[in-house]
């Protein structure tokens, strides 16, 4: 009897849904009520002696395994005359069978990466004492998570290999096309059995076709269809490696999973170091208490929405400094208490550093309603008012906590030369920085001088985007760091100095609008939004009639829209099953995957000046070091990406959110070559002449060039 959603199993596991069902039981998605964690519950309702023994053997075997590509067993229990239950990790994602059905076939690189991961798990299993043989490897038993981690699952036919032991027929099962001939009948199965099944699985992934069944090949002399006859464009070396794994005689196959793994990697000249680049872990953002406070943006957005319905706009209202000296002292006392208590649990060298905020004069304005205009450049509010000085606060010095004095240095930067410095065809760069207490929008000259804060919002601001004429900046708030999705955020516009701000006049959506990107003609803003459902999709806001249109609606999340120079296409990131670059027209009817499929994460697409190349950051799912790649439009979908700078040249460190200068000759981006300090850097389009533009110890990210020919304000 199938368990219903909501049922509590063994007074602990709450059933959420049925993941799969068969004649002998089911697999459920559930929640461990004791720990609050998602789990998978496998059920066996066939209590015949052989099946019950095999199910318990699976539980005992899995409970002893510890490998990153294998699910872990958390619990096993049985109810007399009812059933047996195995509780294990819930592996989110799709299985390889689903991916093959969705994509028809996988790329050479994908096949090798999946095969490498499974071989690594098999090497672990086969070298156990006694060895563990899976005996049911097939596309449906290989799971691929959204972060592109590969898992080998379903050990229902698992056995421990005690030498020449034959296996009873009742414990066997054959999957046509994937089982080797020795698995039929009572012949001995061993590690080479798994190698055959994995080779058959990779054959199916590469060609989209299941190989001829082994027993048919053996008894009827039916040849194996060559891979290259099905996929003429695939690597001949890779095809030969897989076909060797499909030899009928176990002695003619690869004898170990490690040998098979090495042959797969060698077929495409990949290495284990390529698959697992060195990790450089950045520390979490430092804790900051003193935050600059400006207007209540939620209130303003709500009021702007009311006015939007009346064809009017309302700018941000007067700033309200709310900090008091007593509050600072109270919080400081609380911090000291926390540090004293925390010292028993946290190493002193891991304590956060508390920073003093930079004093800023935030100009507040009194609102006047303005009718929406037909062009973005005319959306300027009529405002007047006086600046409000935020009182400077002094945080008491705490022992063992460094509180550097940064006011003088910051004011020196702000007072730096304001002469027009044109570099890369631009005069300024906007970016987000945490240096003033929380994330705010800053601008600087293209040589890094003249750094100046232009927003001071209580909930933070980030994701700046210049209008094509350089007169306005779009940004989002709230913001507490660089993310792909910002639930609850809204899009705002500001003049280039940040003195006048107003909400983008779109119908209110509390779910979240983010990632604004101006069209080349300034008539539209593309953005990601959660307003349609729980997944982000791409929308267009049209300034001419204040309308919004949903462009994408796939079941996967779509973020980071980037306009082609023609204004006719948008590149974006589709997040599942792993982040890949896609392109769509403005109707959403012509969408296609641009980057080739693979066990990599691709993010932050940006077009070159003439739209012939898309550049983006790429990294392994297990790494935190994204590097920069390019792929020409004519090679879209092919494994012809090129590194910037080329492999073999000096490493420039991570490259995040690259943006090309107006003259098309430079990238500006976020990086942390030392593994710690996140700053803004610049390199040439060829990956040379790296320059560091910011040096503040707090995080800087999301740089964007001001359009060409617009002098700094």
Query: For the chain, what are the domain ranges?
Result: 8-89, 94-275, 297-705
> Taking Cα atoms as reference points, which of 586, 451, 577 lies closest to residue 92?
577
Distance, CA of 454 to CA of 475 (rounded, Å): 11
- pLDDT at residue 550 tops 80: yes
- pLDDT at residue 371 tops 60: no
pLDDT number for residue 349:
31
Across 258-262, 291-295, 321-325, which has the greatest mean pLDDT?
258-262
Least confident segment among 299-308, 317-326, 520-529: 317-326
Q: What is the mean pLDDT of residues 372-381?
A: 33
645: left (phi over 0), alpha (psi -120 to 50) or beta: beta
Q: What is the mean pLDDT of residues 216-227?
A: 91
pLDDT number for residue 291:
29
CATH fold label, 94-275: Transferase(Phosphotransferase); domain 1 (1.10.510)
Confidence (pTM):
0.48
Burial of 36 (0-12, 13-18, 19+ CB in 10 A): exposed
pLDDT number for residue 373:
34
- pLDDT at residue 366 tops 80: no
pLDDT number for residue 282:
26
- pLDDT at residue 207 tops 90: yes
Distance, CA of 83 to CA of 77 (rounded, Å): 9
- pLDDT at residue 331 tops 50: no
Q: How far is CA 372 from CA 5, 15, 433, in A?
A: 51, 52, 31
| Torsion angle (degrees, nearest 10) of CA 266, 268, 271, 277 | -170
CATH number of 297-705: 2.120.10.30
Sort strands 150-152 and 142-144 into parallel, antiparallel or unpaired. Answer: antiparallel
Q: How far is CA 164 from CA 161, 167, 188, 253, in A?
A: 8, 10, 7, 19
CATH number of 8-89: 3.30.200.20
Residue 611: Cβ within 10 Å count: 16
How big is the chain, counted in residues?
713
pLDDT number for residue 709:
54
Q: Are 453 and 406 in contact (CB under 8 A)?
A: no
Structure confidence by residue, pLDDT tens digits, 575-634: 877 899 999 999 999 999 999 887 789 999 999 999 999 999 998 776 668 999 999 998
Q: Which two tokens stand for residue 51?
A: 């099946």
Residue 370 or 508, more confident: 508
Structure confidence by residue, pLDDT tens digits, 625-660: 899 999 999 889 888 899 999 877 888 889 999 999
pLDDT band of 1, cuts 50, 70, 90: low
Q: Are 9 and 41 in contact (CB under 8 A)?
A: yes
pLDDT band of 194, cuts 50, 70, 90: very high
Structure confidence by residue, pLDDT tens digits, 222-274: 899 999 999 999 999 999 999 999 999 999 999 999 999 999 999 988 754 33
Looking at the chain, the whole-number percentage of residues with pLDDT higher than 70 is 74
Token pair 């990294």: residue = 619
The overall average pLDDT reported for the chain is 77
Looking at the chain, the whole-number percentage of residues with pLDDT higher than 90 is 49
Q: What is the mean pLDDT of residues 546-560?
A: 92
Residue 254 or 304, more confident: 254
Distance, CA of 216 to CA of 120 (rounded, Å): 30
């Amino acid at each position: 009897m199938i368990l219903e959603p909501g049922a509590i199993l063994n007074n602990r596991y709450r059933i959420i849904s049925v993941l799969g069902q068969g004649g002998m039981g089911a697999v459920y998605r559930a929640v461990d009520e004791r720990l609050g964690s998602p789990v998978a519950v496998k059920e066996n309702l066939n209590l015949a002696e052989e099946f019950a023994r095999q199910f318990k053997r699976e539980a005992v075997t899995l409970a002893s395994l510890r490998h990153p590509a294998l699910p872990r067993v958390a619990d096993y229990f049985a109810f007399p005359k009812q059933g047996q239950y195995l509780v294990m990790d819930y592996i989110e994602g799709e299985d390889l069978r689903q991916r093959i059905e969705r994509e028809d076939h996988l790329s050479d690189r994908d096949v090798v990466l999946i095969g490498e991961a499974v071989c690594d798990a098999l090497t672990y299993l086969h070298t156990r004492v006694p060895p563990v043989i899976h005996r049911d490897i097939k596309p449906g038993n290989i799971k691929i998570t959204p972060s592109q981690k590969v898992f080998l699952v379903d050990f229902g036919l698992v056995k421990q290999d005690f030498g020449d032991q034959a296996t009873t027929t009742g414990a066997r099962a054959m999957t046509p096309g994937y089982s080797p001939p020795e698995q039929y009948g009572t012949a001995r199965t061993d590690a080479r059995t798994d190698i055959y099944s994995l080779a058959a699985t990779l054959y199916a992934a590469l060609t989209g076709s299941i190989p001829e069944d082994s027993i048919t090949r053996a008894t009827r002399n039916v040849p194996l269809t060559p891979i290259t006859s099905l996929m003429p464009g695939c690597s001949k070396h890779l095809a030969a490696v897989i076909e060797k794994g499909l030899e009928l005689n176990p002695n003619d196959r690869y004898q170990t999973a490690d040998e098979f793994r090495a042959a797969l990697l060698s077929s495409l000249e990949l290495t284990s170091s390529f698959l697992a680049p060195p990790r450089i872990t950045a520390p979490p953002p430092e804790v900051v208490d003193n935050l600059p406070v400006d207007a209540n943006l939620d209130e303003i957005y709500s009021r702007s929405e009311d006015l939007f319905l009346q064809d009017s706009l309302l700018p941000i209202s007067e700033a309200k400094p709310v900090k008091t000296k007593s509050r600072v002292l109270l919080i400081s006392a609380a911090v000291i208490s926390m540090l004293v208590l925390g010292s028993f649990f946290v190493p002193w060298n891991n304590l956060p550093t508390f920073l003093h905020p930079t004093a800023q004069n935030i100009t507040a304005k009194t609102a006047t309603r303005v009718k929406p205009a037909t062009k973005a450049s005319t959306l300027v509010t009529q405002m007047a008012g006086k600046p409000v000085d935020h009182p400077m606060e002094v945080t008491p010095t705490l022992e063992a906590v460094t509180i550097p004095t940064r006011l003088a240095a910051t004011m020196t930067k702000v007072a730096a030369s304001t002469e027009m410095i044109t570099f890369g065809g631009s005069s300024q760069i906007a970016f987000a920085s945490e240096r003033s207490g929380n994330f705010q929008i800053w601008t600087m000259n293209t040589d890094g001088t003249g750094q100046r804060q232009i927003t001071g919002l209580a909930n933070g601001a980030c994701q700046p985007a210049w209008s094509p004429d350089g007169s306005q900046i779009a940004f989002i708030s709230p913001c507490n760091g660089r993310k792909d999705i910002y639930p609850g955020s809204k899009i705002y516009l500001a003049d280039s100095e940040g003195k006048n701000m107003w909400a983008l006049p779109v119908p209110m959506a509390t779910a979240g609008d983010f990632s604004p990107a101006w069209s080349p003609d300034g008539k539209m803003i593309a953005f990601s939004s959660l307003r349609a459902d729980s997944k982000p999709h791409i929308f267009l806001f049209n300034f001419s009639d204040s309308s919004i249109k949903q462009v994408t609606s796939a079941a996967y999340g779509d973020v980071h829209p980037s306009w082609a120079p023609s204004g006719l296409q948008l590149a974006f990131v589709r997040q599942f099953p792993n982040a890949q670059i896609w392109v769509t027209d403005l109707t959403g009817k012509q969408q296609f995957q641009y980057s080739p499929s693979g066990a990599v994460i691709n993010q932050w697409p940006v077009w070159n000046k003439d739209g012939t190349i898309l550049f983006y950051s790429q990294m392994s799912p297990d790494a935190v070091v994204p590097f920069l790649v390019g792929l020409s439009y004519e090679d879209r979908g092919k494994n012809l990406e090129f590194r910037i700078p080329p492999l073999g040249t000096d490493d420039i460190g991570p490259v995040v959110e690259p943006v090309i200068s107006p003259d098309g000759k430079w990238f500006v981006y976020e990086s942390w070559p030392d593994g710690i300090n996140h700053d803004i850097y610049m390199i040439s389009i060829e990956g040379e002449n790296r320059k560091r533009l910011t040096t503040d110890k707090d995080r800087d990210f999301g740089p964007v060039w001001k359009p060409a020919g617009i002098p700094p304000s």
